[in-house]
Amino acid sequence: MTLITGLDHLHTTNTLTLEQLQPCFTSALTTCATQRAPWPSLFPFAQQEVQAFAKLSQPLLTLVSSDWLTSQLFLQHTLADFKPHTAPLYLLDQTAGQAGYFHSELTVEPGRYRKQSKAVQDTINDHLGDHEDGDIHAVAAKRIGFLESASRAQLFGEVYNGADGTLQLKPGALACHLGGILVVQLPALLEDPTLWQDLKRCIESQTISWHDAVCLQPPKSPLPQGRFAAAIKVILVGSREQLAELHHLDPDAAQNASMFTELASEVRANESNMPAIQDFICQIAAPFSVSLDLPFLNALLQHLSQLREHREYIKFNGKYLQRLLGRLCLDETPLTPEKLQQVLRQIRAAMTLPQKYSDESIAEQQIPISLTGNAIGQVNGLSVVELDGHPLEFGEVFRVTAAEYLGDGEVIDVERKADMAGNIHSKSMMIVESYLSQVFAKKHHIPFSANVVFEQSYSHSEGDSASIATYVAVISALSQCPVKQTVAITGAMDQQGHVLAVGGINDKIMALYRTTQVCQLEHKVSVLIPHANLINLNLDSDILAGVAEGKIDIISIGHVSEALDLALTEHQGWQDVYARIKQRFKSLQDDDDETLGSHWDWLTKWFR
């Protein structure tokens, strides 16, 4: 028997229990029931960087975050002790000389310039040049401000004509936060690149110009020339994708960002973090005036963990949590796990039209999926369907078939040949062929080739999660051992035959269980998943009920040989399957040798 790399590290196949299919946070919640910690402590490095930014002279900080609300609450808490080191701010409208903003520790009475004390006039002249007159207005300078959707008027202000014909300026957010910190969401700057260029110029030069403001009407007198000094500190908030787009529009933007930090969109839900997580949930829930008991918090964390697809992490997004709690609080009934599940079903049901059409096509046998009996060279695979413009991804069962014929050991991927597959998919098919050669072609050439088809696949295929299903289908075709159609398989593989983790594992398991319901099956089905995906399991209560009732088994595997043992029939183990294939190869080679020998005998007899 040929040595198969990696078999020394096999783990025992494992039929999973209910405890392995959904995490439980009750213990961590109970342990921390009387404890509270400020939730920004979940991001200590980001806290340190923001606090350092407030103290240093750097004018720009980039904060990578996918959620504006979470960023806003985080910065409000982290900068709670921030105090601008600037004097009160005033605005001088132009009548003569340079108009603009100035700081003064002296007592300034809003009104005419010429009515101010000489000391105040000297301060104004030092800031803005010599003046003869003008109107002075106090500007309500703010410590920290947030612009979620910045326009030019909101950012730089507005210029208009006063009743007496003088230019008037309505300060923008940038002017109102001179000496403070202005937090700007990035998408608004991407919509109007000129807005970013003007803001960048202000940040780099630490000056403001009246020419950046919006003129609501043609000014009756010329706008003041030049720029006046201003202490500007800005925090840009956006996702990685938005930041990459900004760098694409302005390659110099990365160099101008003197400081950088980020907020993760997920956090580990362990006992040490649980007090801070509870603090965050309670802060978001406070406006709704609702009671959050232990069972509800556990169910909520299970849902957030399911969104993250990780048993030890939860999705950390204030906006999503706010919307969900708002939906739950449409009526005044208490928040319970049952109510949460009901609302989540309603939300999902509103987005399942494509999934419904997919299920109907299987029920009507438009797409023939068999979950009964046995078949040679046919395996039920599992995929995740992503539709452009649709928020919901859903799992789907599909057929992988393999047909063998005399050849040279090549595994021909029809999807790739038809230009219907991506690079990752193509790579996975090459790995299947490579491992097949390692097992059977170290001493002799493989005398067969095989075509592999994803049946009724009409869209672009991508990913490597069908690798194990493909390998099982090819081995079934070569050995003529049937595949159990009650088994579905998902998993990637490496060149040693180890089963690797895949994405969307919960959606894929749900797809198989949903198909059994659509087809009204009464017998048990099984799904083989990578052992490495155990950390990602977080299944709905419907599937948990199906497992408890014995309708579906979820089995983890670590090597392709385990998939052969579980998926193929009419054999005595994967060694027997491989032995049959080798015997088939040998029989074909013996036939070739016998044919060649008879031809040689005929030739020697002819020329004797």
Q: Which of 461, 508, 556, 582 is catalytic?
A: 508
Tokens 């040595």 label which residue?
Answer: 3
The region that residue 323 occupies, defined by phi over 0 for left and psi between -120 and 50 for alpha, beta otherwise, is alpha
Neighbouring CB atoms inside 10 A of 366's CB total 11
Q: How far is CA 33 from the centre of its chain?
A: 31
Token pair, residue 300, equals 């909520």
* Distance of alpha carbon 508 from the chain centroid: 18
**SS3 at position 321:** helix
Q: Is 465 a catalytic residue?
A: yes
SS3 category, 30: helix
DSSP, collapsed to helix, strand or coil, labels residue 405 as: strand
Please tell me the distance from the alpha carbon of residue 32 to that of residue 351, in angstroms, as a whole number.
Answer: 37
Q: Cα–chain-centroid distance for residue 461?
A: 20
d(CA 278, CA 322): 14
**Cβ neighbour number for residue 456 with a 10 Å cutoff:** 12
Residue 274 DSSP class? H
Residue in the block written with tokens 């401000």: 145
Sign of CA dihedral 19, 21, 27, 28: positive
User: CA dihedral defined by 195, 199, 205, 211, rounded to 10 degrees?
Assistant: 50
First to last CA, the chain: 44
Q: What's the distance, CA 321 to chain centroid?
A: 16
List alpha helices for 309-400, DSSP H.
Answer: 318-328, 337-349, 353-363
170 is catalytic: no
Round to whole Å and give the CA distance between 218 and 210: 14
Catalytic-role residue among 104, 209, 428, 465: 465
Instruction: Tell me the C-alpha distance between 212 and 207, whole Å.
Output: 11
Q: Which residue has the tokens 């098919």?
A: 429
* DSSP secondary structure code for residue 11 in this structure: -
- The CB density around residue 163, as the number of other CB atoms within 10 Å, is 6
Nearest to 398 by CA among 548, 554, 512, 284: 512
Contact predicate 509/544, CB 8 Å: no
Distance CA(563)–CA(85), nearest Å, equals 68
Tell me the catalytic residues: 465, 508
